[in-house]
């Protein structure tokens, strides 16, 4: 018998052996488990990378929103700014006395008794707001009524042309806001009557005032000042 014939006969004999068949099955099962484990490791690694990428995308999006709405103050906090880049200050807080003085002057700068245009933030969010007319009622040091800003700040009241009270009257609405009617003036090109909100004291950096809109006469200023004083 040739060598090839003997080898073929030996292989056939081994294939018929129960022990040989069990060994072959065990080897096949081990190969399948190894392939399955490798696929699972690959999926877990891919899932981990995907989650990490998602977290990174979320951080980048949050950073983008912060950049669009403010700038860092160097201590990890976002400082609110006007569209022109000026600082937005928080509303006046505390019970510090407010020195109300009627002092409009023809000096091209905002003074108490004048109505000017400035960026006013929404009450609940320093980073959002709109450009609107305000009545300047006082000037004071920034530290008197808040923790932000520096130097002299303006204390002002927001104006609205919406009808919230009767002509010449003062009224507190159901939301607790107090409105004083001041009538019309050259600050409104359409000649509409205006009202000021006396219970919300805005603090403005003078540099953020966009333009002067007009001047309130002394009698109407005094009426507004009386309403503000009664609320302090």
Angstrom distances, CA of residue 78 to CA of 53, 67, 70, 173, 205: 25, 8, 6, 33, 18
The percentage of residues in the chain with a pLDDT greater than 90, rounded to a whole number, is: 50
N residues, the chain: 232
Instruction: Find, among 132, 101, 130, the residue nearest to 224 by Cα.
Output: 101
- What's the confidence (pLDDT) of residue 144? 96
SS3 22: helix
- What's the confidence (pLDDT) of residue 23? 56
Strands 152-160 and 202-204: antiparallel
Token output for 178: 């107090």
pLDDT band at 80 (very low <50, low <70, confident <90, very high): confident
| pTM for this predicted structure | 0.67
Mean pLDDT, the chain, integer? 78
- What's the confidence (pLDDT) of residue 199? 96
Give me the torsion for CA of 139, 144, 146, 152, rounded to 10°.
Answer: 40
Element (H, E) at 13: helix 3-15
Cβ atoms of 169 and 182 closer than 8 Å: no
pLDDT tens-digit profile of 168-226? 899 999 999 999 999 999 888 899 999 999 999 999 999 999 888 799 999 999 999 99
Strands 211-215 and 114-122: antiparallel
- What's the confidence (pLDDT) of residue 213? 79
- What's the confidence (pLDDT) of residue 77? 46
Cβ atoms of 170 and 178 closer than 8 Å: yes
Across the chain, which distance is largest between two alpha carbons, in Å? 131
pLDDT tens-digit profile of 15-35? 555 555 555 555 556 555 655
Domain 81-231 sits in CATH 2.30.30.110: yes
Cβ atoms of 79 and 72 closer than 8 Å: yes
SS3 186: coil
pLDDT at 76 over 90: no
pLDDT tens-digit profile of 81-92? 888 788 899 999
pLDDT at 63 over 50: no
pLDDT at 127 over 80: yes
pLDDT at 11 over 60: no
pLDDT at 39 over 50: yes
Token output for 147: 């923790």
- What's the confidence (pLDDT) of residue 41? 56
Report the C-alpha gap between 90 and 56 in whole angstroms: 32
Report the C-alpha gap between 226 and 57 in whole angstroms: 53
- What's the confidence (pLDDT) of residue 75? 45
Token output for 33: 């488990």
Task: Kindly list the domain boundaries of the chain, sorted by start residue.
Answer: 3-59, 81-231
């Amino acid at each position: 018998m040739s060598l090839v014939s003997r080898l073929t006969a030996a292989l056939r004999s081994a294939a018929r052996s129960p022990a040989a068949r069990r060994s072959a099955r065990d080897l096949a099962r081990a190969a399948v488990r190894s392939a399955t484990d490798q696929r699972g490791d690959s999926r877990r690694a891919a899932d981990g990378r995907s989650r990490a990428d998602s977290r990174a995308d979320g951080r980048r999006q949050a950073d983008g929103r912060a950049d669009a709405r403010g700038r860092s103050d160097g201590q990890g906090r976002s400082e609110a700014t006007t569209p022109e880049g000026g600082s937005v200050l928080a509303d006046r807080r505390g019970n510090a006395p407010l020195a109300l003085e009627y002092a409009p002057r023809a000096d091209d700068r905002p003074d108490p008794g004048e109505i000017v245009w400035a960026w006013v933030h929404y009450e609940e969010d320093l980073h959002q707001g709109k450009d609107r007319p305000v009545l300047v009622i006082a000037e004071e040091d920034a530290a008197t009524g808040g923790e932000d800003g520096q130097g002299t700040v303006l204390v002002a009241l927001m104006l609205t042309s919406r009808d919230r009270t009767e002509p010449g009257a003062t009224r507190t609405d159901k939301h607790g806001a107090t409105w004083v009617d001041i009538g019309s003036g050259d600050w409104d090109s359409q000649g509409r009557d205006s009202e000021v909100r006396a219970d919300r004291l805005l603090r403005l950096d003078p540099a953020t005032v966009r333009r002067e809109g007009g001047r309130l006469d002394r009698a109407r200023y005094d009426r507004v000042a009386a309403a503000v004083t009664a609320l302090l």
